[in-house]
Amino acid sequence: MTDRGTPLARRSIWIAQGITIAGLLIYVLVVRLAAPALLSAGRGGSVGFGALLAIIPAALWLLLFYVQDAKEPEPLGFVLQVAIAGGIIAGAVALPMVARIPTRAWLGAGPITGLLVSILVVGSVQEFCKYLAVRFTVYDEDEFDEIPDGVTYGTAAGVGLATVLNLWLVLNSPSIAPMATALRIVVTTLAHGAFGGVLGYFLGRAKILGEQSNVLRGFLAAALLNGVVTFLLREVSRSGLAYRPWNGVILAAVIATAVTLVLFRVERTRVEAAA
């Protein structure tokens, strides 16, 4: 098998992900500063603002991708295509399915059951959507020619899915609290970008190294990570009746950073071993 992966030359992808995390935190600070003015808007303005809040993280990620694209030509159109596919499939499949989970089963049945449902239902459905978004858009394209491309496309699918989840959150909220909403959006975007990166990495290995059967491991790893983190985010974001959104942001940032570093390390080890 010819090793076509050149992860170290694609360091900018990892840097872009790191900058995205920093950018999202700046985005939260901006919302914090602008919150008083935003709160004075009426219901219509509030929904419009909420929708803008939901889209900004995805736009930020894509903008960063475009900036790094200037140095290393990459198919921005493909990335957009995957992100949009991720969003559409999420809206058609993941949202309706997850929304039908009875609340009692979801929250009131104890931690073990909650964790199981998070992994088996939420994690599997959402990661399956990302798999579909990558597999049936760019997977067969010639441009998908390096393992890190899989990370990029998987992350794009995750960001697309997260954007639809965020829009759904905003449009279904009776009122928009700018800071809480912005923090929730950041958490969702960071987390789904990271889960998508894991799945995408294995898709990249399947495409470039022919390790097709390993994609199942990637899917299971991403679903497990998704379910566990979803469960943990719910636990750490609440203290009694109080909502602690910053705890969720910190956890999501740690997870996203850890996933990026682990993928980077694993890929570097693989290339060094191959060399």
Partner 1 sequence: MTETRWKRLDMPIWVAAVVMLAVGWLVIRSVEARTVSFADPQGSLRVRYPEGWLPVPGSTAVLDVQDPLTGAAVPSRLIVTREPKAADKTLGQVSTESVLARAQRLAMYRVLSERAARIGGKDALIVEYAFVEDPHESVLAAARLPVVVRGLYAVVFADAVVYHVDLRAAATVFDTERRAFNAVLRDIQL
Nearest to 57 by CA among 89, 93, 17: 17
Q: Which of 19, 41, 220, 221 binds partner 1 (CB under 8 A)?
A: 220
Residue 165 within binding range of partner 1, rule CB under 8 A: no
In this structure, which long-range contacts are made by residues 167-175, counting pairs with CB atoms below 8 Å and at least 24 apart in sequence?
167/51, 167/54, 167/55, 168/91, 168/95, 169/54, 170/47, 170/50, 170/51, 170/53, 170/54, 171/47, 171/50, 171/51, 173/50, 175/43, 175/46
Residue 133 within binding range of partner 1, rule CB under 8 A: no
What x-and-dash track marks residues 77-106 binding partner 1 by CB under 8 A? --------------------x---xxxxxx
3-class DSSP string for 88-101: HHHHHHHHHHHHCC
The nearest distance, CB 140 to partner 1, in angstroms, is 10
The nearest distance, CB 180 to partner 1, in angstroms, is 12
> Strand, helix or coil at 22?
helix
Comparison of 119 and 249: residue with beta carbon closer to partner 1: 119
Q: Which of 109, 171, 250, 274 binds partner 1 (CB under 8 A)?
A: 109
Distance separating alpha carbons of residues 149 and 220, to the nearest angstrom: 20
Distance separating alpha carbons of residues 171 and 65, to the nearest angstrom: 28
Residue 233 within binding range of partner 1, rule CB under 8 A: no
Residue 14 within binding range of partner 1, rule CB under 8 A: no
Rounded to whole angstroms, what are the CA distances from 102 to 7, 98, 168, 233, 253? 43, 9, 18, 19, 29
The nearest distance, CB 210 to partner 1, in angstroms, is 9
Binding window for partner 1 (CB under 8 A); candidates: 47-55, 56-64, 219-227, 248-256: 219-227
Comparison of 6 and 212: residue with beta carbon closer to partner 1: 212
Residue 184 within binding range of partner 1, rule CB under 8 A: no
How many of the chain's residues bind partner 1 (CB under 8 A)?
32
- Residue 79 · residue 137 · CB < 8 Å: no
Residue 116 within binding range of partner 1, rule CB under 8 A: yes
Binding window for partner 1 (CB under 8 A); candidates: 7-15, 120-128, 152-160, 253-261: 120-128
Comparison of 60 and 229: residue with beta carbon closer to partner 1: 229
Residue 107 within binding range of partner 1, rule CB under 8 A: yes
Q: Which of 108, 171, 239, 250 binds partner 1 (CB under 8 A)?
A: 108
Distance separating alpha carbons of residues 275 and 5, to the nearest angstrom: 11
Helix ranges (DSSP H) in 136-244:
147-171, 178-209, 214-236
Residue 135 within binding range of partner 1, rule CB under 8 A: yes
Count Cα atoms within 13 angstroms, Cβ side, for 51: 6
